[in-house]
Amino acid sequence: MCLVTTALVLVLTLLVLVYVFLTWNFNYWRSRGIKTAPTWPFVGSFPSIFTRKRNIAYDIDDIYEKYKDTENMVGVFTTRVPQLLVMCPEYIHKIYATDFRSFHNNEWRNFVNKKTDMILGNNPFVLTGDEWKERRSEIMPALSPNRVSNLIKHLPNQNCIFILRKVKAVYPVSQSVCRKFVEYIRRQQQMASSQGLDAMDLSLCYTTEVVSDCGLGVSAQSFTDTPTPLLKMIKRVFNTSFEFIFYSVVTNLWQKVRKIYSVPFFNKETEVFFLDIIRRCITLRLEKPEQQRDDFLNYMLQLQEKKGLHTDNILINTMTFILDGFETTALVLAHIMLMLGRNPEEQDKVRKEIGSADLTFDQMSELPHLDACIYETLRLFSPQVAARKLVTEPFEFANKNGRTVHLKPGDVVTIPVKALHHDPQYYEDPLTFKPERFLESNGGGMKSYRDRGVYLAFGDGPRHCPGMRFALTQLKAALVEILRNFEIKVNPKTRSDNQIDDTFFMATLKGGIYLDFKDLSQLSSSWFSSALARRCAMCTISTALLVIAAILALIYVFLTWNFSYWKKMGIPTAKSWPFVGSFPSVFTQKRNVVYDIDEIYEQYKNTDSIVGVFQTRIPQLMVTTPEYAHKIFVSDFRSFHDNEMAKFTDSKKDPILANNPFILTGEAWKERRAEVTPGLSANRVKAAYPVSLRVCKKFVEYIRRQSLMAPAQGLNAKDLCLCYTTEVISDCVLGISAQSFTDNPTPMVGMTKRVFEQSFGFIFYTVVANLWPPITKFYSVSLFAKDVAAFFHDIMRKCIQVRRESPAAQQRDDFLNYMLQLQEKKGLNAAELTSHTMTFLTDGFETTAQVLTHTLLFLARNPEEQQKLREEVGTAELTFEQISELPFTEACIHETLRIFSPVLAARKVVTEPYELTNKNGVSVKLRPGDVVIIPVNALHNDPQYYEEPQSFKPERFLNINGGAKKYRDQGLYFGFGDGPRICPGMRFSLTQIKAALVEIVRNFDVKVNPKTRKDNEIDDTYFMPALKGGVWLDFVERN
């Protein structure tokens, strides 16, 4: 009892000491007569730094709104460090400009060490005192053509021309990149889903290309399918590490720690990459003087000759130019496009202002309305939501009540930039986009707001952004080309308010910016045609109208000619429209086509066992009874043994897909399946099981690392699972590693993600083929992109060559070795060998990743089921036999496959004459070539067969309740298909999924992130069923 009491007293004493330490300073401002914002232990005045439920800017806004009318300043605390929040614009202008010498350093200097963080530690934003002045004086001449007229009075004429030339020199580069940017947007828009294009990704591609060209004279290949590593590294630049955040918290709690320890803002790999690429560029310039360019790097090399700069200074200055230009400019460009998309009338004004002629640099500099749009966007989404300045000389501020506060060197003052920008006292309707506020004709433009201390988008005073002129040139050049070529519209996926992302380093719209770009060249073409027509005589117009009417009538007759096909046979027909047939969502893309099928099923299932439908204008028959579904798949398989997809696939154009057992028909299918199936036998899957176990261990570590760096929106479960399946399958099939769990994965990971990306060309081809089937006899389009197919063929050939040359590699009991043995037995040619192995690769990547993703989703939504699974798998390592006997785990997978079946509707081709009878006794005779649709998703979600079909109830598939076989035999479950054409890789897929689930639930509590939708709505356009908006999960590590 005595020991327990002593321990409790010690713990209580320790807690009291910690509390006293954390709150010791909380009386700091009150004792000086300054009001203090509400403050809490550990989090200080800004709890959102730790809760991550909203951006810290909103904490600052709340304090500003509460005190702005009664105080000029208010005391706040970052953890336990006292700071002064200044709310008076006059004082803010003093801090930035009038009394700059008393506030000339930024607080960031407190957290950055020049030795451990070479890049940020030497950035002018962080440098202090004379070091800052020297660095800025080195950089500014390369970026500032602004004060030429003043310079003429003080500098030799040649120096003035040199300074002016620097920004002008990069303008042709910006123009050239802009034209490539427009073509890139055009290509991306053609392949875009209903969710539109990610404006931030587009803008980052643009700024990366401009800055790398203007800074180093190299291309990042940002607008190609294979960009250089530069683009990837840029996206990682401002990903703040957990270690740095933790370090900044600790240093605020105990400031002395910064003297003995520091953490770099940029990770070492990123720093080494950029410094290495700059060193190479410098070496190339010095070795080849004939390749000199009038860019930033050349300016630095010239400065080195004049001032004797150390090479490290050149590296640092060039890094400053590059890194400061990427992210910030991309963010601003993305938000300007958002605002113009939301305000089409402003978009039209800018379009009229820029005209259609090419603009010189000087003309580009004189676009007042475009400038106003940029300034207004920067007001709404200022890259810096708050500024923190260090006091460098003693200074006094007087509050509204007359009390004076004395600041000493080292104190920190906070300027609430966002709050000032959104204050209705200074900006009427502050949340409304009104560019006219910044026109010179309305009171002096942007300068008038800056001089009053209420506009700080580029900062102010001597430390205003040195790259402002260059950034504006980039922005305007891009916007001019975009607005000339496209009408920007906001995609519905983009939120309608201006809420800032919870955790991102700079201010950006929460949830991302998704835009649609409507090509104006098409509109111009149609306008020209109509203008030409108006010049024709009235009789010509009348004749043309008659011809057009006749053509339209013929098209209408052609499109609807077959619409009475089923009615003539006495079969009810679903509602159909010209061109779109019974499935309008194929073309509207407003929802997944499966919902069209589901509606037809619901309308007719109680009255009819078959219903006529139309794919564009081709008649097809949908069955609505499980009995007929089972007959088609199993009992009468010989009459339906081919899949409709075979009609659209050509073995010459698409050898990968054409040789897939899912596509092959008749004897070719039987032969191929007989060759492939033994490679997936239980013994071979068992032999591959240790590989799966090894990969699973790496997978868990990868999730652990990703979770440490995860944003508030959680981890993208599909990306995680695709990394896993890519790693497992590349190892089990080819005996190689895709390096999926590293920061430098092989190209296989990227190519895997592209395997099932449907091209616009393939979609258009299937539409045309349904309208006019004879086209399939002389023309076809490949489902897989040529570079994707070529990549996998090439890697296959290399792996086969290695196997043949290495006796040790031939000892692996994997799928490739099996195929090589089969080649020797059956004399397969190289193309057949490659296509066989490709079948295994492509089938395994995407489908298994989708199933694993959705299984994790349902386990996260249903923690009680997750716990049951965890209890079933236990803690000991499982053998192959043990993992094959996990009934509840398998039931969870089958239930997931019921809700998100990889095939939402099966389309089978009639191969022998067959007769189906409707519930009213009317029979229909089907001919070879006819297509029958089985509405898999509708059957899987029918409450007549599954109680509460949208609920996750794995117990339905337990063996004690009949298992999956019971539902399959009733024609109600087709997760892996059924009958002779059931998925040949089912056993291997189940083993992969179960191995991953075992390791994940042992190590993590899987939880649904709020970003994930709560229903089961399927993505509008994706090739396989996937939850709309993606699956975002949080992985909480278990002890």
Distance of CA 724 to the CA centre of its chain: 19
Q: 93 and 246 in contact (C-beta within 8 Å)?
A: no
Q: How many whole angstroms separate alpha carbon 637 and alpha carbon 631?
A: 7
For 46, the token pair is 């800004």
Nearest Cα to Cα of residue 851 among 725, 973, 980 = 725
H or E stretch including 1034?
strand 1032-1037
Nearest Cα to Cα of residue 805 among 793, 794, 814, 797 = 797
Q: What is the three-state SS of 78-135?
A: ECCEEEEEECCHHHHHHHHHHCHHHCCEEHHHHHCCCCCCHHHHCCCCCCCHHHHHHH
Distance of CA 948 to the CA centre of its chain: 34
Distances in whole angstroms, Cα of residue 41 to Cα of each of 18, 23, 952: 9, 6, 42
Laid out side by side, the sheet with 514-519 consists of 197-198, 514-519, 486-490
Cβ atoms < 10 Å from Cβ of 498? 19
Largest CA distance in the chain: 112
Nearest Cα to Cα of residue 407 among 656, 86, 26, 97 = 86
160 is in an annotated binding site: no
Residues 6+ positions from 418 with CB-CB distance below 8 Å: 57, 60, 61, 382, 385, 386, 500, 507
Rounded to a whole number of angstroms, the distance between the first and last alpha carbons of the chain is 30
242 HSE (CA, 13 A, CB side): 9
Q: How many whole angstroms separate alpha carbon 816 and alpha carbon 59?
A: 59
Distance of CA 707 to the CA centre of its chain: 17
The DSSP symbol for 18 reads H
Q: How many whole angstroms separate alpha carbon 364 and alpha carbon 143?
A: 16
Q: Collapsing DSSP states into helix, strand and coil, what is residue 535?
A: coil
Q: What is the three-state SS of 192-226?
A: CCCCCEEHHHHHHHHHHHHHHHHHHCCCCCCCCCC
Q: How many whole angstroms separate alpha carbon 622 and alpha carbon 594?
A: 13
For 206, the token pair is 């643009």
Q: Is the dihedral of CA 427, 428, 432, 434 positive or negative?
A: negative
> Letter for the amino acid at 616?
T
Angle at 163 between CA 162 and CA 167, to 5 degrees: 110
Angle at 904 between CA 898 and CA 909, to 5 degrees: 125
Q: Collapsing DSSP states into helix, strand and coil, what is residue 536?
A: coil
Q: 312 and 275 in contact (C-beta within 8 Å)?
A: no
Q: How many whole angstroms separate alpha carbon 285 and alpha carbon 962?
A: 74
H or E stretch including 689?
helix 682-708
Q: How many whole angstroms separate alpha carbon 231 and alpha carbon 322?
A: 12
Cβ atoms < 10 Å from Cβ of 648? 18
588 HSE (CA, 13 A, CB side): 13
Enumerate the known binding-site residues for heme. 983
Enumerate the known binding-site residues. 983
